[in-house]
Structure 1
Amino acid sequence: MEYRELKVNLPKEGSDSLYELLDTLSVAGYYEILFDGDAPKEPNQEGILRENTNIRIYLDKDDIEKELKIIIFLKINFLESASYESREIETRDYEEAYKEFYKPFAVGKKLWVIPTWEKDSENTKALWEPIGGIPLFINPGVAFGTGHHETTKLILERLDTIKETEKTFFKTACDLGTGSGILSIGLGRLGTDRIFALDIDPNAVKAAWSNWQENDFGRKIHFTVEESGLSNPNLNNYEYELAIANITFAVLSQNIRSLAEIKAPRFIFSGIITEKKDAFVDLLQSHLPGKMLFEQEWNEWWVLDWVRN
């Protein structure tokens, strides 16, 4: 099968709005090049170096309409500061391209996110084994959650801190919008014994299950992942000690009543941007009355650790 690859370069601050468009268009896949140290930084009109990012977007070969919508988006929003080029590639190129740029990295004090194709590498083991690190083996695909995004890192760092500072860790949890399954895997590696995960994207569900099987937890864990939204009746069949949700404010606010029905005393939310934070806290007080245990911001993204009354 052939694909059309779009190579896009645009200002870093514009990447999230582009991702929203790509999710709406349901493109075949996309990823951000995070380790392109050779890419030149171009000065803007004031002579200040501009921080741009490179994103690869994959479309079906004949999907010209989606390509045009992406180009129009770039011209409207980043006329002078974005560039793009396209080419046709084969399936193998599409599946293997992101591996060149996805490398092991640490999150918090203990966790290490390791691509599955490097799990047996002695050089990779040397990064985390000597310090007693905890590896999370992930094949991110191209659009389901690599662990690099601020929201994912914020939740993983919070879970890592809770494991270190609190007397016990959560034995049961649900993972809302699991994506690649990276947060569920983090929960399992830190001590959770029963995890229920869900996602509306069937490909994400497959990716989460595949990634789960790549990890050796050293004990029996009951892990279930289903294709569904937050109205899934199975979500309410159990009581959980923790619910985690790396989901945008728009989705969370639309499903606030479903969130309130989840039988969990504690929630960790991410995917909330600064301009929506106060509105989301107001929603929580209205539908899940409680208090904030912890909050932290990174590049205008927030993680909120919330306990119900």
Structure 2
Amino acid sequence: MPFLELTLPCTEVQQPRYERALESVGALAVTLADAHADAPDEQAIFEPGVGEQPLWNELVLTALFEGGTSQDLLLYALSAADEGLDWSRAAFREVEDQDWERAWMDQYEPLKFGRRTWIVPWNHDLPEGADAADAAVVRLDPGLAFGSGTHPTTALCLEWLDTLADEGALHGQRVLDFGCGSGILALAALKLGAAQAIGVDNDPQALIATADNAQRNGVDDRLLAYAPDDEPAQTYPVVVANILASALVALADTLTARVAPGGRIAMSGILAGQEDEVIERYAAGFEQLHAQRQEDWMRVTGVRRR
């Protein structure tokens, strides 16, 4: 059965209200694209950076509904959902049946971080020539997870974990992934030799995605995910926190208390220029603080003072 597709131009300011209205009336999927894309292969946003919603000033919003949905009734329901929105420019068309939740995933390819960490979409194999015997492979379903390894903040943390594994600092250890999102960093730590990982996030959807990805990777018995208020208070030899710089500064006491003496921490989600404030805030509890840059983003690492 075909689907009903609605497209609508809108501005960055209007987008959240339009998206909420569409979701409230049963949209199966909502995607965003640049209204003035010059490149023919312009792609919609599926993975915003950590803590951000990078949008263009003028957008084309696309929503997918079940086939057979009445256009008139849908417009009536949308108008009732938010009376302040203008739906007069909405356009409809029927689109052929296919696995729309998965179709866009074809753009994702296996990604390598460090010496042997691989993030591999569920429908891909390792590239030819990759050392499968030595690879630490995390299988992700980008349709269910936000944070697929493509953002520099995630990449910086994955590379750090890969280095720790080469140094033998992950083997048999417990790892805290604070702000776990999809659970990608916790999963990578387990695949690299950690014994147990704890994920913490204040977004219920993140906890669902983490649990789903843990099951997909066969480590659901070793990965537990908690809301911040439910997290057991304990210390860890390895902590990674991929959240915003402002949150890192605000949570300095909490995160410092989570790192065991002599343990290591990696913090990302830090824009270039913000690293000095983070380093200053953590200097009392950590030594060997070091900042590493990738594109416009920074990672700060340190060792807990004994």
TM-score (normalizing by structure 1): 0.68
Tell me how far 1:242 sits from its aligned partner. 1.0
User: In structure 2, which of residues 196, 199, 213 is the aligned counterpart of residue 197 of structure 1?
Assistant: 199
Q: Which residue of 2 aligns with 1:304?
A: 300
Q: Which residue of 2 aligns with 1:78?
A: none
Larger radius of gyration between Structure 1 and Structure 2: 2
Q: Is the 8 A contact 1:245 1:268 kept in 2?
A: yes
Q: Which residue of 2 aligns with 1:276?
A: 274
Give the Cα–Cα distance (whole angstroms) in 2 for the partners of residues 170 and 285 of structure 1.
Answer: 28
Give the Cα–Cα distance (whole angstroms) in 1 for the partners of residues 138 and 30 of structure 2.
Answer: 22
Structure 2 CA distance for partners of 1:137 and 1:274, relative to 1, 3 Å: same
Structure 2 CA distance for partners of 1:116 and 1:57, relative to 1, 3 Å: closer
Equivalent residue letter for 1:278: D
Q: Is the 8 A contact 1:193 1:221 kept in 2?
A: no
The one-character-per-residue Cα deviations of 1:29-51 (angstroms, maximum 9, x if unpaired) are: 88899xxxxx9659xxxxxxxxx
Give the Cα–Cα distance (whole angstroms) in 2 for the partners of residues 88 and 225 of structure 1.
Answer: 31
Tell me how far 1:130 sits from its aligned partner. 5.0
Would you identify which runs of 4 or more consecutive aligned residues in structure 1 move more than 6 Å? 5-8, 25-33
| Unaligned runs of at least 5 residues, structure 1 | 9-17, 34-38, 43-51, 59-69, 76-82
Q: Is the 8 A contact 1:162 1:169 kept in 2?
A: no
Give the Cα–Cα distance (whole angstroms) in 2 for the partners of residues 184 and 242 of structure 1.
Answer: 11
The one-character-per-residue Cα deviations of 1:190-223 (angstroms, maximum 9, x if unpaired) are: 1111211111111111111111111246xx9632
| Aligned alpha-carbon RMSD (Å) | 3.8
Aligned length: 251
**SS where residue 181 of structure 2 aligns?**
coil
Equivalent residue letter for 1:87: T
- Please say if 1:101 is aligned against 2:107: yes
Q: Which residue of 1 aligns with 2:65?
A: 90
Q: Which residue of 2 aligns with 1:111?
A: 117
Alignment of 1:105-144 (within 5 A): 105-118=111-124, 121=125, 124=126, 126-129=128-131, 132-141=134-143, 144=146
**SS where residue 275 of structure 1 aligns?**
coil
Tell me how far 1:5 sits from its aligned partner. 6.5
Equivalent residue letter for 2:301: D
Tell me how far 1:251 sits from its aligned partner. 1.6
Tell me how far 1:176 sits from its aligned partner. 0.4
**SS where residue 200 of structure 1 aligns?**
coil
What percentage of residue pairs aligned between the two structures are identical?
A: 24
**SS where residue 257 of structure 1 aligns?**
helix
Equivalent residue letter for 1:173: V
Tell me how far 1:254 sits from its aligned partner. 2.2
The one-character-per-residue Cα deviations of 1:223-265 (angstroms, maximum 9, x if unpaired) are: 2112x23xx35341x3311111000112222222322332433
The one-character-per-residue Cα deviations of 1:85-119 (angstroms, maximum 9, x if unpaired) are: 2333237765224312122121111111111123x
Q: Is the 8 A contact 1:155 1:270 kept in 2?
A: yes
Structure 2 CA distance for partners of 1:85 and 1:127, relative to 1, 3 Å: farther
Equivalent residue letter for 2:107: F
The one-character-per-residue Cα deviations of 1:162-215 (angstroms, maximum 9, x if unpaired) are: 211346646111110111111011000111112111111111111111111112
Tell me how far 1:57 sits from its aligned partner. 6.5
Structure 2 CA distance for partners of 1:167 and 1:252, relative to 1, 3 Å: closer
Q: Which residue of 2 aligns with 1:151?
A: 153
Q: Which residue of 2 aligns with 1:234?
A: 231
Give the Cα–Cα distance (whole angstroms) in 2 for the partners of residues 225 and 198 of structure 1.
Answer: 6
Give the Cα–Cα distance (whole angstroms) in 1 for the partners of residues 174 and 8 of structure 2.
Answer: 42
Alignment of 1:171-250 (within 5 A): 171-216=173-218, 222-226=222-226, 228-229=227-228, 232=229, 234-236=231-233, 238-250=234-246
Structure 2 CA distance for partners of 1:249 and 1:94, relative to 1, 3 Å: farther
Equivalent residue letter for 1:135: V
Equivalent residue letter for 1:55: A
- Please say if 1:267 is aligned against 2:269: no
Equivalent residue letter for 2:294: W
Equivalent residue letter for 2:200: L
Tell me how far 1:299 sits from its aligned partner. 0.8
Structure 2 CA distance for partners of 1:173 and 1:167, relative to 1, 3 Å: closer
User: In structure 2, which of residues 45, 58, 63 is the aligned counterpart of residue 56 of structure 1?
Assistant: 45
**SS where residue 210 of structure 1 aligns?**
helix
Give the Cα–Cα distance (whole angstroms) in 1 for the partners of residues 43 and 246 of structure 2.
Answer: 26
Equivalent residue letter for 1:272: I
Q: Is the 8 A contact 1:6 1:56 kept in 2?
A: no
